[in-house]
Structure 1
Amino acid sequence: MSNSLTHILLIDDDPIFRLGLRTALAEFPNLQVVAEADTGVTALDILRRRQNQNAVDLVILELSLAELSLSQQLKTDYPNLPILLLTAQSDPTQLAVAQEAGVDGYCSKGSPVDTIVGAIGQLTSGESFWEAFPAFSQSIPRSVPSPRWHNQLRSQGLQQIEAALVLVKQQLQSPNLTNLDRLFWNGRRRELLAARWLVNQLLPAQVIVVERGEERKERQGGQGGQGGQGRDSRLAISRQQGILVPSTASSSELTQVLESSQTFDATLAKLQSGLTNLTGEILEIDILQTDKKRELLGIILQKVEAILAELRFSQITMEQLAEKRSLILQDLWQVSVMDFFGRYYTLPWGNRELAVVDILLRDAAAVQGDILDRIPFVVELFAHQLFETPLIIDNVSYPAQTPEALTRSGILLQNLIIQLANGVISPLLNNFADTEAIKQNFYNQQLISSRDIARFRNNLSWRYRKLQLLDEPEAIFESRHHLLVLTDTGIKRTAIYAPRTQELEQLQGLSFVVSIAYELRDAISPRLRGTVAWVGRGVVYFLTQVIGRGIGLIVRGVIQGVGSAWQDTRLGK
């Protein structure tokens, strides 16, 4: 390592870690941390200010999607500036993407200080340094299945959790349960659901990592040209996330998958929170038990993720994506119906069995027109996930792989799965609303009487009439969309801006009259309010300045007269 002083820029959002690393490096006289930053914007500003004096010789940063885009920006603006990744992350795919993005070296945060100093020395001398990681510096590891004990542990744990959930459900269905006992068993159920989610996250059934093209070619060559293994041989599958990635994927494609995975993971986490409807308007899924509601939304989330993987594999274009929007949503709805109810689920009806799914799928056209076609930003969401196109929300463009884009794509994804869930339950309410088997297996205990169900359906029908005749024309005229989003407390409604001029021009009939009424109100209301305010000020002036003063003078005269009479009476005495 050279004896010259190495100026280091430290980028990490953990101030305690920055302090510790700075203190550790201070023991080495040829190393100096000249600046620290907790965000990429701050780091770029520091580098610009230090170009002429005490220029930075090396950057140390933590790994995240934001920092991947930062490393690309750094390599574009400062191609000769070495970047050392010092992170707690050990995911081979993420590290591979970082390497492709321009990172020159990697050390884990648990590495000894001497190892980090050695890595700094190699990077400043023009070499690279990747801490011992199985075959990582040369290529991304091949697919490695989880060990057998790993799968057994996961399977046994899930079986125990499911058995406990069945017992808890039986307790909650007891009619003699006190409020205190019900509170206890509800808490127990939430704990078990959280434990099940953690097991699925921490103990995936199989972990398979994408391999690079060079390694794949070498392995195929060593196998003597064993081809024709079909589509699965060209894919790497993550069972935990349900993601299919072409094995020849580039770093940008891998980054797309990671970003998509983050969006879906965040949405899945929100499904574990409350799913109470807080919008003030009735939704089809309100009739479901909470567990069934969560199960349905989870199934749809998996199907959306799977269809994105299919689209990514088929290499669909932007033009084809827009053309196939209705078909994609129709496929999502159909597979969600079949998975939620069961492809061969039947109900006894007289002397025969009714195939529930076949009957529900007959309402495809009605669901498409009433629900699926009204879902906004479907093409934009899929294009953002597949092609990294900027996401334009509220007339602001959010580039891919930024935290803001992740948040907003999550909002669009949540609205999509909630609306699809409404579409799954809608034909059930139209065909089997008052069927006892359906009520016992799916409905909320507060909505099982025939009167409650009839009231629920009537309110739902009125909501759609109101939406079609009043709410939708108003939203079109105001250039906004209403979205359903998941929060920690439940499902809420939010509005975002979107140009809807074409829809406004196509309004006809009563919807057109409603938009004209809103326009007339906007035109007349300010003038009318101004006129009323002017008349009101005149009335107030007349009452206070004219009548009020007159009454005041009269009262004053009366008081003076009474005073004079009282004084005369006193003097007369």
Structure 2
Amino acid sequence: MSDRRISLLFVDQDAIFRLGLATILSNYPQWEIVSQTDNLTDALTQLSSNTVDLITLDPNLRGQTLTVEAFYQQIKEISPETKICLLSYALSWQQQQDFREIGIEGYCHKGEFIDVLLENWQKIIEGEIVWPVISSSQLSEFNQTISKKNWLSKVRKSGIEEINKNLQLINKNLKNYPSSTWDKIFWQGRKRELLTARWLVEQLLPVDVIVVASPRINSQIMKTNNLSSIGTLVATGEWLNLFQETNDKLENNLKNLTNFLLEIDILKSEKKREILELVLKQFERIISDFKFIETKSMQISRNRLSVLERLWRESALIFLSKYCLNEKQISLEDMEILVEENEELVSKEILQEIPCFPELFDYIILDNELETKESNQANLSPEKKKETILHNVVIQVANGIVALILNYFSNNEKVKKNLYNIDMASSREIAKFRNRLAWEYRKKEYWQEPKNIFESQYRLFFFTEKGIDCTFVYYPRQQELESLRGLRWAVTILLEIRDAIAPLLRSLVGTVGTTLVYILTQVIGRAIGLVGKGILQGIGNSLSERDYPSKPKKQNSKS
């Protein structure tokens, strides 16, 4: 390799991945990202004023007016020496062949190690064609490998099913049959062993080989089929157990046990479980992207909100495409535009309000430990706090997806039939539910949230065996308190006035109460008692004289 700096143009709609790659390439001085963008039209505009050696391009771009083929042709007219390399998670064999026939010089998987990635890019710049190739002599061996993997996948499936059966029995024993402390410790240890065994089976044995026909949608659906099989880079250890334990808790009852209304309450129980599992699995996949980057850059940690926005966007697109897509009324492209147009609103109203996510993100990505704080209701250990924060993130992101459905598909009969509880499927009940939600939003904004800020706490929803519950955890919020204005500020003043006069009122009420008791019992009570006693004595004397008349006097006899 020469010492000349190599210039890159990076085209990808995933802002987090672009940022991560730019960060890690900063450690390689020979490579320079001249520009980066999320659409092909802007990439052409930037190339009119800049010359680059290589364009890395994710072909699965949404909402593009320019095709990859048209983009390639225009690039070659502007700068014939510029090479193009596709950089994506999954391209089918047919798709690879189609792009190669266009003339694109190479394709690399996003999961490649950075050194392998740079080596392939260097080969493309030097004029080589870098594509995964299976020659005719290797085709027979390839088919044998597929057969072997399919056989192993059956073993994998059978093993996981057996492990899951044992886990269910252990969970049932721990839940329904109280035993001694030593028995509980034994069964909990057995449960951890089975969870570890299941993870090893999922990682070491292959899944079924699947031919992808529609790459953009199917690649998204494939990514949600397994919690751990997709992201082998999602590593090992405590945080993986955190995700797995959360996934296990989604098998329990998901009834809302709190006094707060949730958007997901309108869903059928099985659909509620499905959307929560979807969000959890998408979150796991996004984390696997960051684990691939393997950087502790603080620049990445500042983009935590982008992680939540990406999580909501991808989960919403998958869920809506499954239940709300109607080719006659709304196409996939329209659905994507709808999600993108509402991303900012959902981010402002819901995602930005999700508490403690930065701490969870830093724990998972940057290996920072969470501080132990006391909640108002219970003492939360670091492990319990991580789990509670993760549960709340999953619930709130799912709420954001359902909010979009309620705003745009609330009266769609197909949606109502597939998603809503039967007792909430009428137009009247849906309107009542939406009005209650609107009231909850106003109450939270103007009363509950100022109160929580003043009391230095956050409300977190979490999963239990009986349903969804909530708790309050301590968190310093002095800066937010100082920035309150208007009605929200007035709420804190009212709370402070109440706290100030409450002891005086209690003392005053106590004094008045004691005085009243004394007057009623010692003064009025005694007076009434004396009067009553006199009346009773008079009545008694009257009765005595009437019932027992005096004896007649004896006359003295004369002698």
Query: Could you state the TM-score of these two structures normalised by the residue count of structure 2?
Result: 0.57
- Alpha-carbon separation, structure 1, partners of 2:508 and 2:436: 40
Query: By how many angstroms is 1:148 displaced?
Result: 3.6
Query: By how many angstroms is 1:391 displaced?
Result: 1.3
- Alpha-carbon separation, structure 1, partners of 2:281 and 2:267: 19
Is 1:314 aligned to residue 316 of structure 2?
no
Is 1:359 aligned to residue 361 of structure 2?
no
Greater RCO, 1 or 2 (C-alpha within 8 Å, sep 6+):
2
CA distance change for structure 1 residues 157 and 289 in 2, over 3 Å: closer, same or farther? farther
Query: Which one of 388, 391, 402 corresponds to residue 411 of structure 1?
Result: 388
**In structure 1, what residue type is equivalent to 2:268?**
Q
Question: In 2, are the aligned partners of 1:367 and 1:423 still within 8 Å (CA)?
Answer: yes
Question: In 2, are the aligned partners of 1:479 and 1:498 still within 8 Å (CA)?
Answer: yes
Unaligned runs of 5+ in 2: 1-146, 162-193, 207-224, 552-559
**In structure 2, what residue type is equivalent to 1:437?**
K
Question: In 1, are the aligned partners of 2:231 and 2:288 still within 8 Å (CA)?
Answer: yes
Is 1:490 aligned to residue 467 of structure 2?
yes
Query: By how many angstroms is 1:294 displaced?
Result: 1.1
Query: By how many angstroms is 1:444 displaced?
Result: 2.0
Is 1:347 aligned to residue 340 of structure 2?
no
CA distance change for structure 1 residues 202 and 316 in 2, over 3 Å: closer, same or farther? closer
Q: Name the residue aligned to 1:207.
A: 204
Question: In 2, are the aligned partners of 1:344 and 1:355 still within 8 Å (CA)?
Answer: no
Question: In 2, are the aligned partners of 1:275 and 1:490 still within 8 Å (CA)?
Answer: yes
Query: Which one of 149, 152, 161 corresponds to residue 151 of structure 2?
Result: 149
Is 1:379 aligned to residue 381 of structure 2?
no
- Alpha-carbon separation, structure 1, partners of 2:544 and 2:415: 93
- Alpha-carbon separation, structure 1, partners of 2:421 and 2:337: 24
Q: Name the residue aligned to 1:287.
A: 266
Query: Which one of 459, 465, 479 corresponds to residue 436 of structure 2?
Result: 459
CA distance change for structure 1 residues 383 and 445 in 2, over 3 Å: closer, same or farther? same
Is 1:546 aligned to residue 523 of structure 2?
yes
CA distance change for structure 1 residues 146 and 318 in 2, over 3 Å: closer, same or farther? farther
- Alpha-carbon separation, structure 2, partners of 1:381 and 1:554: 75
What is the CA deviation profile of residues 461-498 of structure 1, one whole-angstrom value per residue up to 9, with x for unaligned ones? 11101110111011111111111100111111111111
Question: In 1, are the aligned partners of 2:264 and 2:398 still within 8 Å (CA)?
Answer: yes
- Alpha-carbon separation, structure 2, partners of 1:272 and 1:501: 39
Query: By how many angstroms is 1:258 displaced?
Result: 1.3
- Alpha-carbon separation, structure 2, partners of 1:431 and 1:239: 30
Is 1:429 aligned to residue 409 of structure 2?
no
Q: CA RMSD in A?
A: 3.4
Question: In 1, are the aligned partners of 2:323 and 2:418 still within 8 Å (CA)?
Answer: no
- Alpha-carbon separation, structure 2, partners of 1:353 and 1:262: 35
- Alpha-carbon separation, structure 2, partners of 1:418 and 1:207: 31
SS in 2 for 1:446: helix
Q: Name the residue aligned to 1:529.
A: 506
Question: In 2, are the aligned partners of 1:277 and 1:490 still within 8 Å (CA)?
Answer: yes
Question: In 2, are the aligned partners of 1:477 and 1:504 still within 8 Å (CA)?
Answer: yes
Q: Name the residue aligned to 1:479.
A: 456
Number of aligned residue pairs:
349
Query: By how many angstroms is 1:414 displaced?
Result: 0.5
What is the CA deviation profile of residues 2-34 of structure 1, one whole-angstrom value per residue up to 9, with x for unaligned ones? xxxxxxxxxxxxxxxxxxxxxxxxxxxxxxxxx
Question: In 2, are the aligned partners of 1:312 and 1:386 still within 8 Å (CA)?
Answer: yes
Superposed, which structure 2 residues align to 1:10-21 within 5 Å? none
Superposed, which structure 2 residues align to 1:69-468 within 5 Å? 148-152=150-154, 201=198, 206-207=203-204, 241-242=228-229, 244=231, 257-317=236-296, 319-342=298-321, 346-347=325-326, 355-395=334-374, 404-468=381-445
CA distance change for structure 1 residues 335 and 153 in 2, over 3 Å: closer, same or farther? same
Unaligned runs of 5+ in 1: 1-144, 160-196, 210-237, 247-252, 397-402
- Alpha-carbon separation, structure 2, partners of 1:352 and 1:335: 17
- Alpha-carbon separation, structure 2, partners of 1:358 and 1:343: 16
What is the CA deviation profile of residues 42-99 of structure 1, one whole-angstrom value per residue up to 9, with x for unaligned ones? xxxxxxxxxxxxxxxxxxxxxxxxxxxxxxxxxxxxxxxxxxxxxxxxxxxxxxxxxx
- Alpha-carbon separation, structure 2, partners of 1:543 and 1:443: 61
**In structure 1, what residue type is equivalent to 2:151?**
W
Q: Name the residue aligned to 1:563.
A: 540
Question: In 2, are the aligned partners of 1:297 and 1:418 still within 8 Å (CA)?
Answer: yes
Question: In 1, are the aligned partners of 2:227 and 2:281 still within 8 Å (CA)?
Answer: no
Query: By how many angstroms is 1:511 displaced?
Result: 0.5
- Alpha-carbon separation, structure 2, partners of 1:518 and 1:285: 32
- Alpha-carbon separation, structure 2, partners of 1:377 and 1:353: 34
Q: Name the residue aligned to 1:140.
A: none
Question: In 2, are the aligned partners of 1:360 and 1:431 still within 8 Å (CA)?
Answer: no
Q: Name the residue aligned to 1:572.
A: 550
**In structure 1, what residue type is equivalent to 2:346?**
V
Q: Name the residue aligned to 1:58.
A: none
Query: Could you state the TM-score of these two structures normalised by the residue count of structure 1?
Result: 0.56
Question: In 1, are the aligned partners of 2:160 and 2:201 still within 8 Å (CA)?
Answer: no
> Which of these two proteins has the greater Rg computed from alpha carbons?
2
Query: By how many angstroms is 1:374 displaced?
Result: 0.5
Question: In 2, are the aligned partners of 1:381 and 1:412 still within 8 Å (CA)?
Answer: yes
CA distance change for structure 1 residues 351 and 447 in 2, over 3 Å: closer, same or farther? closer
Query: By how many angstroms is 1:345 displaced?
Result: 6.4
CA distance change for structure 1 residues 263 and 379 in 2, over 3 Å: closer, same or farther? same
What is the CA deviation profile of residues 262-292 of structure 1, one whole-angstrom value per residue up to 9, with x for unaligned ones? 1111100100111111112221111222222
**In structure 1, what residue type is equivalent to 2:152?**
H
